[in-house]
Amino acid sequence: MSAAEWVPEGGDVDTLRRAATDCRGCELWEPATQVVFSAGNPAAPLMLVGEQPGDSEDRRGIPFVGPAGQLLQRALAEAGVGVADVYVTNAVKHFRFTERGSRRIHATPQINHLKACRPWLEAELQTVRPRLVVCLGASAAKSLLGSSFRLTAERGQVMERETPVGPLRLLATLHPSAVLRTPAGPEHDEAFGGLVADLRTAARAVAG
Judged by the rule CB under 6 A, the positions of this chain that interact with ligand SF4 are: 3, 20, 23-26, 28-29, 35, 92-94, 116-117, 120
Minimum gap (Å) between residue 149 Cβ and ligand SF4? 20
Q: How far apart are CA 106 and CA 84, in angstroms?
A: 29
- Which one, 29 or 64, has the nearer CB to ligand SF4? 29
- Which one, 115 or 175, has the nearer CB to ligand SF4? 115
CB 54 within 8 A of CB 107: no
- Which one, 94 or 104, has the nearer CB to ligand SF4? 94
Entry field: residues in the chain? 208
Residue with the shortest CB distance to ligand SF4: 25
CA distances from 115 to 45, 92, 199, 202 (A): 25, 9, 26, 26
Q: How many CA atoms lie within 13 A of 66 on its CB side?
A: 19
- Which one, 87 or 120, has the nearer CB to ligand SF4? 120
Minimum gap (Å) between residue 28 Cβ and ligand SF4? 4
Minimum gap (Å) between residue 3 Cβ and ligand SF4? 4
CB 180 within 8 A of CB 60: no
